[in-house]
Amino acid sequence: MLHLIWTCIIGLIAGAVAKLIMPGKDPGGWIITMVLGIAGSFLGTYLGRAVGHYQPGQSAGFLMSIVGAVILLGIYHLYKRFTA
């Protein structure tokens, strides 16, 4: 349970850092960016486990959370570009 809370906290910070790395018009605002940061933290955990960097039960570190958040923000920007 505690690792889930830690993943969410890191995800919130990673979302803010990812927004600084990928500037531009973000149609959803900061709330969507933070939610994508949390999802990016989960994606970073999944990617880290897939390549063997994390063991089962470990969550993503800060850098992998940022990587996951940047990937999801890029996908989100592409989605918004094609639907607008």
Are 24 and 77 a contacting pair, CB within 8 Å?
yes
Alpha carbon distances (Å) from 44 to 6, 28, 83? 13, 22, 26
pLDDT at 26: 66
What is the spatial distance between Cα 29 and Cα 64, in angstroms, rounded to a whole number? 23
pLDDT above 70 (res 27): no
pLDDT in tens, 33-80: 778 888 888 888 888 888 887 777 777 678 888 888 888 888 888 887
